[in-house]
Amino acid sequence: MFKRKLLGNTRVPHRKNTADMPPVRMENASEVLLPMAQHIGAPAEPTVKVGDEVKLGQLIADASGPVSSPIYASVSGKVKTIEQYMRSDGRRVPAVRIVSDGNMTLAEDIAPPEVKDTDSLIEAARRSGLVGLGGAGFPTAVKLDALRKGIIDTVVINGAECEPYITSDTRTMLDDGEWIYRGIALLETYGGNIKKYIFGIEKNKPKCIKAMRELFERNDKVEVKSLPSLYPQGAEKVLIYNTTKRTVPEGKLPSDAGVLVINVTSLAIIAKYVSTGMPLVERCVTLDGDAVKEPKNIIAPIGVSIRELIEFGGGLKDKAGKVLFGGPMMGIAACSLDEPVIKTTGAITVFTEKSSLAVPETACIHCGRCVNACPLNLNPTEYSKALDLENKEDRIARLEKYKVMLCMECGCCSYVCPANRPLVQNNRLAKGELREHRAHSSMLKD
């Protein structure tokens, strides 16, 4: 990667309509659907069966491997079904459906964990069910595991929230300063060799920058950086480079660059869990988009259907043409309004039929804007060309050569393309083909 002053150079509309709206709490849901894979890694394994009575915060599925995460009941009630749920990537995973009894009765075993060293902090993060809330879904305990090795000297706290519309992290920074403060205190006490804490916040959130600077004005280990509002400022590798000037080596993790990146809301949630023992059963979701009657932030039980969330939020003012998990740059289209909000759902954005119309694509004019926009210096046109090759070996060789697996699907290339080429969609297809090929090859070797 050649050196740039800053990575990321795409200007996208901010549309942070809900930034000044403290979240409203959805106290209950009629039922919730909790898929066993709401994180990267092995799906969790159900610990309940159909007909069981469950309470709020009760473990209903345990982590099934080192990279996995437990899941807790987000309402009290009865397990109605354990069914197959198809994720947006086409994978089918079991999902537990709980019909609420309307009481939100708390599980008796909720109690703060004992945290006295790095190991117990990591174990607390594991038991909390916390995964990367910014969208990636990487189990937080696995990330924190690098603290044990003493290789982390810098923590980057991700408060960039660069995706249009989404303001759930913004609200954490404005409403939950105390928990963020306690989260940093936990890392200072049990985080090993950490020397520096850097908040990365886009400068279009001046209130958040001010709030964090005031909160940590007496802590000279903490720096709050105001970053240009250029997308994708919150992408992990981009944020690391723009805050520390360190580059994560290809195929390696941030810990290989001595950095731990943690989302600002995740940090607050760890602190809450350590104080209360209440695992991750709810999250703040921004409900917005031009079809939404009253955009707002909603603290919703995990597993509530999009339909119920929208109804609670005041409904739609126009027929929905497209419903996204997330924002318009990286969001994934929901197949149905019955799909559930999961741990990684930071927003539900609903667009009218008119604004969801596909724009016709035309031929590539070789302008190079997509290459210039890519924060990772990739060449997305090569992936589209590779997909057009008839011979599979040629396709695979080309995708390997141009390193398609590095693509983080930020969507900058598609966004800037004057010919409306579906570049990020092609990148996803290309990654899928290469992933399948690699899995098949390694199976043959075994």
Least distance CB 377 / ligand SF4 (angstroms): 8
- 254 contributes a contact to ligand SF4 by CB under 6 A: no
- 238 contributes a contact to ligand SF4 by CB under 6 A: no
Which range touches ligand SF4 (CB under 6 A), out of 206-214, 341-349, 362-370, 391-399?
A: 362-370
SS3 of 141, please? helix
For residue 60, count other CB atoms closer than 10 A to its CB: 22
Nearer to ligand SF4, 97 or 421 (CB): 421
Nearer to ligand SF4, 1 or 316 (CB): 1
Which range touches ligand SF4 (CB under 6 A), out of 336-344, 359-367, 385-393, 437-445?
A: 359-367
Distances (CA, A) of 435 to 3, 413, 442: 29, 21, 11
- 365 contributes a contact to ligand SF4 by CB under 6 A: yes
- 408 contributes a contact to ligand SF4 by CB under 6 A: yes
- Residue 191 contacts residue 153 (beta carbons within 8 Å): no
Subset of 367-406 contacting ligand SF4 (CB under 6 A): 367-370, 373-374, 376, 378, 380-381
For residue 8, count other CB atoms closer than 10 A to its CB: 28
Longest dimension (CA), the chain: 64
Subset of 275-304 contacting ligand SF4 (CB under 6 A): none
Nearer to ligand SF4, 269 or 330 (CB): 330
- 338 CB-contact burial (10 Å; exposed 0-12 / middle 13-18 / buried 19+): exposed
Per-residue tokens: 377: 């210096």
SS3 of 117, please? coil
- Site size for ligand SF4, by CB under 6 A? 27
Nearer to ligand SF4, 428 or 437 (CB): 428
SS3 of 382, please? helix
Per-residue tokens: 213: 């600077």
Subset of 2-21 contacting ligand SF4 (CB under 6 A): none
The residues pairing with 154 across neighbouring beta strands, listed in sequence order, are 196, 259
Least distance CB 384 / ligand SF4 (angstroms): 7
- 60 contributes a contact to ligand SF4 by CB under 6 A: no
- Residue 50 contacts residue 79 (beta carbons within 8 Å): yes
Nearer to ligand SF4, 80 or 431 (CB): 431
Closest residue by Cα to residue 111 from 97, 89, 95, 128: 128
- 411 contributes a contact to ligand SF4 by CB under 6 A: yes
Nearer to ligand SF4, 78 or 369 (CB): 369
Mention every residue, 6+ apart, whose C-beta is less than 8 A from residue 386.
394, 395, 398, 399, 402, 404, 430
- 410 contributes a contact to ligand SF4 by CB under 6 A: yes
Per-residue tokens: 28: 């209950």
Which range touches ligand SF4 (CB under 6 A), out of 124-132, 195-203, 266-274, 422-430?
A: 422-430
> Which of 427, 430, 433, 434 touches ligand SF4 by CB under 6 A?
427
SS3 of 370, please? helix
- 417 contributes a contact to ligand SF4 by CB under 6 A: yes
Nearer to ligand SF4, 227 or 370 (CB): 370
- 413 CB-contact burial (10 Å; exposed 0-12 / middle 13-18 / buried 19+): buried
> Which of 59, 166, 407, 434 touches ligand SF4 by CB under 6 A?
407
- 366 contributes a contact to ligand SF4 by CB under 6 A: yes
Nearer to ligand SF4, 3 or 445 (CB): 3
- 409 contributes a contact to ligand SF4 by CB under 6 A: yes
**Position of tokens 């724009």?**
359
> Which of 29, 413, 430, 434 touches ligand SF4 by CB under 6 A?
413
The dihedral over CA atoms of 104, 110, 111, 117, expressed in degrees to the nearest 10, equals -120
**Position of tokens 């899941």?**
71
CA angle 168, 173, 179 (to 5 degrees): 110
Instruction: Give the interface with ligand SF4 as residue ranges (CB under 6 A).
Output: 364-370, 373-374, 376, 378, 380-381, 407-413, 417-419, 421, 423-424, 427
